[in-house]
Amino acid sequence: MEEDEIRRALLKRALGYDALEVAEEYSLDKDGQETLQKKKVTKKHYSPDISAAKLLLERYYRSYEEQVLGMSDEELEEEKMRLEGLLKKGEQNGNS
């Protein structure tokens, strides 16, 4: 499971992504309690990282290619369905 998370993180970094950044300013009120004064939310784009893409290809593509070459037709069909599901999930997350 942990390796899948690393692979997804590398893929995200290799392809680039958008993220929300939140900056908050607090001040003390009369009672000494912190209160939120300003909150700024900005959307930031992180460009694709070629180092992450290179590592991803070197580390995972070769081993994945070797696995695929050894798969039966049924295993290939299952892998196809798994990858299509991941793509659909990624599209849904990107649109929300």
Q: What is the pLDDT of residues 23-60, one digit of tens each?
A: 999 999 888 899 999 999 999 999 999 888 888 877 77
What is the value of pTM for the model shown? Answer: 0.49
Average pLDDT across the chain, whole number:
85
pLDDT at 71 > cutoff 70: yes
User: With the CA atoms of 65, 55, 16 and 78 taken in that order, what torsion angle do they form, in degrees rounded to the nearest 10?
Assistant: 20
Give the C-alpha distances (Å, rounded to integers) separating 46 from 18, 19, 21, 25, 35.
6, 8, 12, 24, 31
- pLDDT for res 96: 47
